[in-house]
A and B are shown apart, each in its own frame.
Chain A
Amino acid sequence: MPRGGNEVIFRGKGLVKGYFRGEALVTSMPISFLGGVDPLTGMIVERGHELRGKVLADRVLILPHGKGSTVGSYVIYSLAKRGLAPRAIATLRADVMILTGCVISGIPLLDGIPIETLSAIRSGDVVEIDASRGILRRTSR
């Protein structure tokens, strides 16, 4: 739903309430937090992942869903405690691992965003997540 200039809004369901505005990190590939992310640096290390080498800290992570062991929830928690986790997450379909990770870490989680989001928003865009109102907004590019 474009709204003048560069602004675009997508809607979803806020599973963990909260607000954050910052730089987006977007991928169409699922992420495994156990093994796929280095818990000491918050860098994506999974071989063959398109975001390999990128760090999660202070980003709004936009991805289809998580994958892998539910132990990944603990990795999200541990990253958050060190300030290395994403500040907000938006998913097409949240899985138990991401949902649990976000709840125990207090990371705003917006679920059920449309698939177009993954192409309409690019890494580096400034976005705003308001999980309480169920809104993801691209404010500028």
Chain B
Amino acid sequence: MKLSKMEKLMLKGRYGEACKRALELVIAIAESYGYGELVRIRGAHISGISYKNIGDSGLEYIKDLVEGGAKVRVKTTTNPCGFDLDKPWLFDVDEGFFKKQMEIIRLLKEMGAKLSLTCTPYYVDNRPRRGDHIAWAESSAVIYANSVIGAYTTRESGPSALAAAITGRSALTRDHTDERKPSIMVNVQAKVFDYLDWSLLGYVVGKLAPDERPLLRVKRVTCSSDELKCFCAGLGASSTTSIFWLTTSDYNVVQGVKRIKVTHRDLRRARDEWALTRRPTLVFIGCPHCSLREIKEIAKELRGKRVKEDIKLFISTSRSIYAMASELGLVEVLERARAHLIKDTCLIVSPIKLSKNDVVLTDSAKTAYYAETMTNVMVAVEGRRKCLEEATK
């Protein structure tokens, strides 16, 4: 492999033991999965932050890296951790978990990572520009960065994104070149209206084409970037996909690739799998983390209402967006309605205890999918407005 002078010095250990080991990993990935070359990156986003996910093994690995002198070389943000740093009591965190999670956070800070603790770093904390090469983990953010923003990133794993952050390099793969072209045409016959529809559409497309790069042909698109974000999360949860395209025009129809369609019935069937048959005990909105616009919408909806005593309503976002919402007085509106605006975490990566009697209601296919596979509670999906109604009626 052709290496620059600096990369050779990294391998000799001139930039520390951690940097050497990190580059060895990037090179190994480049040799086995990539084009045998490295690409310089402008930013990184690392996953595997919650102690619930990485456990003692992950903590130990990050600690060894820091002891080996690891520092990030590019702007690096982090995925959510196990609890809201300002309200850990909401998430059934015990002392052991608290200490271990704070240790992980201390280590990441020492490495120079920005503790954005969010799965939507592209709103405020780490916004790539079109054409930027980056190394991101977190499937929903990867798909968003590639497809909505037009950046270039492989769907990195937790350790590989960390290695890229420390070396400033990633493996050159197809995702970093313009050879990433549609491999399948998806004719969307279903009508999509709200966040839940987009989220389910992503989930269904991913199930039908788990290892493809889909081009979606829709009749007309009137959607916000927030709705596309929900689509990205659904798609990321059910596939290995790193990019998609959306078109309304016949000019963009690609010849010579597979074709499938998604009908209203396909979406209906996915939705029926998670039908609401009992009264919810926990309503969760904010997978992926809410934007400021979404929080404004929710605050408007909740103004003058109150969440029922036996129901918890969680709305999750990043600490950066939380600060803006607070400035605008939206946090107060939500608190008055007995809703919890939480940051730094989500239902899935927190150790929150759910019993068999709990019913989780959400407007995210990704949360529904993971809650169902990781816990034994009953899970249901409904549109956002209906979720808020259920919590307050």
Contacts and interface: CB of A to CB of B under 8 A. Distances in A.
Interface in B23-68: 24-25, 28-29, 31-33, 48, 53-58, 60-61
Contacts of A94: 32
Nearest to A102: B28
Which size bracket describes the interface of B in this complex? 20 to 34
Contacts of A111: 32
B32 A77 contact: no
A73 B32 contact: no
B392 interface: no
Which size bracket describes the interface of A in this complex? 20 to 34
B56 A78 contact: yes
A96 B156 CA distance: 9
A75 B157 contact: no
A15 B157 contact: no
B127 to A, nearest CB: 25
Contacts of A69: 53
Interface of B: 21, 24-25, 28-29, 31-33, 48, 53-58, 60-61, 157-160
A78 B29 contact: no
Contacts of B60: 74, 77-78, 81
Contacts of B53: 69, 71
A100 B24 contact: no
B159 A74 contact: yes
Contact of A71 (B28, B29, B33, B158): B158
Interface of A: 13, 15-16, 39, 69-71, 73-75, 77-78, 81, 94, 96-97, 99-100, 103-104, 111
Contacts of B157: 70, 73, 96-97, 100
Contact of B57 (A13, A75, A97, A103): A75
A5 B24 CA distance: 39
A78 B57 CA distance: 5
Contacts of B24: 103
A71 B137 CA distance: 12
A104 B48 CA distance: 16
Contact of A100 (B56, B57, B58, B159): B159
A78 B54 CA distance: 11
Contacts of A71: 48, 53-55, 57-58, 158
Given A94-B32, A111-B32, 15 more contacts: A13-B32, A15-B28, A16-B28, A70-B157, A71-B53, A71-B57, A73-B157, A74-B55, A74-B57, A74-B159, A78-B56, A96-B29, A96-B160, A97-B157, A99-B29
B21 A104 contact: yes
A70 B28 contact: no
Nearest to A100: B159
Contacts of A15: 28, 31-32
26 contacts: A15-B28, A39-B56, A39-B57, A69-B53, A71-B54, A71-B55, A71-B57, A74-B48, A74-B54, A74-B57, A74-B60, A74-B61, A74-B158, A75-B57, A78-B56, A78-B60, A96-B29, A96-B157, A96-B160, A99-B29, A100-B25, A103-B28, A104-B21, A104-B25, A104-B61, A104-B159
A44 to B, nearest CB: 16
Nearest to A69: B53
Nearest to B155: A96
A16 B157 CA distance: 19
A73 to B, nearest CB: 5
